[in-house]
Amino acid sequence: MKNEPYQTDAQLHQQVFQLLSKQLGAANFIRFIQHYEQGNGDYTKDRESWQAGYTVDSLADEIMRWKEQNQG
């Protein structure tokens, strides 16, 4: 095994990205990376925030109003 010089995490990350993009091509590299990149924030808390005012009845009413407006 070859003794490689130490690289910072950022340097290693950059080198791996360059190698993968060269081997896979841009489109496949992006598809691959999308499986491993972490998002940010807390989806559960965000979802609870924007869904706070909804009930089953309010959603059913909203659906019925939408249907009435969009049937043509």
Write out the residue range of the structural domain in which residue 16 sits: 8-36
Lowest mean pLDDT among 1-10, 50-59, 60-69: 1-10
Q: How far apart are CA 26 and CA 29, in angstroms?
A: 5
Asked if residue 1 is part of any domain, the answer here is no
Which pLDDT does position 35 carry in this prediction?
84
Q: How far apart are CA 13 and CA 37, in angstroms?
A: 12
pTM: 0.44
Chain segment 11-52, per-residue pLDDT in tens: 999 999 999 999 999 999 998 888 877 777 888 888 888 888
Domains contained in the chain, number: 1
Asked if residue 23 is part of any domain, the answer here is yes
Contact (Cβ atoms closer than 8 angstroms) between residue 13 and residue 21: no
Asked if residue 13 is part of any domain, the answer here is yes
Asked if residue 49 is part of any domain, the answer here is no
